[in-house]
Amino acid sequence: MTSSEQAATATGEPAGPARTPATEPAAAGPRSLAARAPRVPADRLLGELVPPRHFARESFDTYVPDPDHPSQARALAHVRAVADRLTAPPATGWFRRRRTAAPAVYLDGGFGVGKTHLLASLADAVGTQQAAFGTFVEYTNLVGALGFRATVDALAQRRLVCIDEFELDDPGDTVLMSRLLRELADHGVALAATSNTLPESLGEGRFAAEDFLREIQALAARFEVVRIDGEDHRHRAVTTHAPVVAAGRVAAVVGARPDATVDDFETLLGHLPAVHPSRYGALLDGVGLVGLTGVGPVTRQDVALRLVVLVDRLYDRDVPVLLAGDGLTDGLDLFSPEMLRGGYRKKYYRALSRLGALAAEGAAIAAATP
């Protein structure tokens, strides 16, 4: 089973688009994630394929290439040129050019060099109607929710499909995405993808293009690889540790905010299989702060993979998290050493790093709450 299938199994519902809207009584605001079971129509899933809120104010103009790393200016110029090409009015009459293949670009580089910034800027420049933007995982979840054919049909309407953090650690998912991209390219859809890299100090290779080109085989020749060197722009230490708040504080902080939820960690993990991972974003509708009590190690891989998807959606939406639990000693021992050495290590490290950042925001809010 692929990781996205592992994360998606046992949803307890038929596959295919849900038809009822994701409405809930708006009364007192959401208080528990485990009490929510959002229904998301297909057009909303497709509508959510936009750059994350975190990049809302970024564009090509706010990307400042590092003069010490000329590859950054080159990457910016390359991606801008792709945007220009995709937004140029079609040539007509005598000047009509021969049909050329739509561009496909792979931004390859280390952690924090601005790959997502450039990808989001490209999607913005092409426009939300014409461009789809999602992470690798969001597209595999979309295929899981809509089916392969419906996903191709929907995405083939776009001029550009952006895939952030192209994952190569799951053969099943990689084959699926490779098929999807090939069909889209055959429909004349432009493609842009970024590499999925771990923070430097976790000691993983900086570039992934070789593996990417091997995995996408038939498509490889169409992709232009753009390498980006540089320092981690976030200048953030790799945090796999997260500030933990006292269990008693969670209730006080959550009680002070109408948009906050509070859940027992195990109960929430027990609820996640009942919600398709493509709806974890909808699960967080209207939620501005998430409190979790009883946080402790996750032992099962399928449970851990669902948690990874939830953390990604929390991070996309910049939702601070309050973590409380006796099981957490010096930080986030959420995943076992075996998991952190295994095939999905990038997903787990990403989740730890993101949850650490969101928990730091949560702890700051807790400290500021009387």
Q: Which residues bind ligand ADP (CB under 6 A)?
A: 58, 62-65, 72, 111-117, 233-234
Q: Which is nearer to ligand ADP, 116 or 151 (CB)?
A: 116
Name which of Mg ion, ligand ADP, none residue 233 binds, using a CB cut-off of 5 to 8 Å depending on partner kind: ligand ADP
Q: What's the min distance (Å) between Cβ of 132 and ligand ADP?
A: 18
- Sorted by sequence, the CB contacts under 8 Å of residue 119 that are 6+ apart come out as 51, 79, 107, 133, 162, 164, 192, 194
Q: How far is the CB of 257 from ligand ADP (least distance, A)?
A: 26
Q: Which does 38 bind (CB under 5 to 8 A by kind): Mg ion, ligand ADP, none?
A: none
Binder of residue 199, out of ligand ADP, Mg ion, none (CB less than 5 to 8 A by kind): none
Select from 112-120, 282-290, 305-313, 354-362 the region that touches Mg ion (CB under 5 A): 112-120
Enumerate the H helices of the chain as residue ranges. Answer: 3-8, 42-47, 70-87, 115-126, 136-146, 148-155, 171-186, 209-215, 247-255, 265-271, 280-283, 301-316, 337-341, 345-368
**Calpha distance 340→203 (Å, rounded):** 13
Rg (CA), the chain: 21
Structure tokens at 56: 């809302």
Neighbours of 334 (CB within 10 A): 26
Nearer to ligand ADP, 285 or 318 (CB): 318
Least Cβ distance, residue 303 to ligand ADP (angstroms): 27
Single out the segment in contact with Mg ion by CB under 5 A; choices: 44-52, 110-118, 144-152, 303-311: 110-118
Residue closer to ligand ADP by CB (options 24, 58) is: 58
CA dist., res. 267 & res. 75, Å (int): 45
How many residues in the shown chain lie near Mg ion by CB under 5 A?
1
Give 278's contacts (C-beta < 8 A, 6+ positions apart). Answer: 40, 45, 138, 141, 142, 144, 145
What does 151 interact with, of Mg ion, ligand ADP, none (CB < 5 to 8 A by kind)? none
Please tell me whether residue 116 binds Mg ion under the rule CB under 5 A: yes
Matching residue, tokens 């057009």: 43
CA–CA distance, 244 with 292 (Å, rounded to integer) = 10
Indicate the residue among 122 and 143 with the shorter CB distance to ligand ADP.
Answer: 122
Point out which span in 1-9, 60-68, 109-117, 335-343 binds Mg ion (CB under 5 A): 109-117
Residue 314 or 366 having the CB closest to ligand ADP: 314
Q: CB 96 → ligand ADP: shortest distance, Å? A: 37
Q: Which residues contact 214 (CB under 8 A, 6 or more apart)?
A: 220
Question: Which of the choices ligand ADP, Mg ion, none does residue 113 contact, using the CB cut-off of 5 to 8 A by kind?
Answer: ligand ADP
The Cα-based distances of 136 to 1, 4, 20, 71 in angstroms read: 17, 10, 26, 24
The binding site for Mg ion (CB under 5 A) comprises 116
